[in-house]
Amino acid sequence: MKVIGKFLEHKKLKRKQDIDSESVFYILKNIIKVKYGEIGALNIKLDYYKAGVVFLKINNSNWANEIWLNKQMIIDEINKKLGEDEIKDLKLK
């Protein structure tokens, strides 16, 4: 039984690391700049990140529509660069 207990403790220590908002924002800023250019980067502001959801502030409805249409592609690209399925949704303000 001691062996099983040690194994379980070892597994708990090797849990996935929590992703911080700075890492998510850095990756998302790069994706926005590549996909939408500098104008997109000026109109799409990263607000905050909480529990797998990234909140964005959008300057106008045209950019909000563009992000909404490409939301799943952006989420997939962020998760690919993070190496795990951490981001679940993008919320627009």
Q: Is 69 inside any structural domain?
A: yes
- The pTM (predicted TM-score) of the whole model is 0.76
Is residue 28 helix, strand or coil?
Answer: helix
- The answer to whether 59 and 43 are in contact (CB under 8 A) is yes
In a domain, 78, yes or no: yes
In 3-state terms, what secondary structure has residue 76? helix
- Is residue 45 in some structural domain? yes
- The verdict on residue 57 lying in a domain is yes
For residue 73, what is the domain's CATH number?
Answer: 3.30.300
What range defines the domain where residue 87 resides? Answer: 17-92
Range list of β-strands (E), the chain: 44-50, 53-58, 89-92
Residue 9 pLDDT? 65
Count of domains for the chain:
1
Q: Residues 41-60: pLDDT tens digits?
A: 999 999 999 989 999 999 99
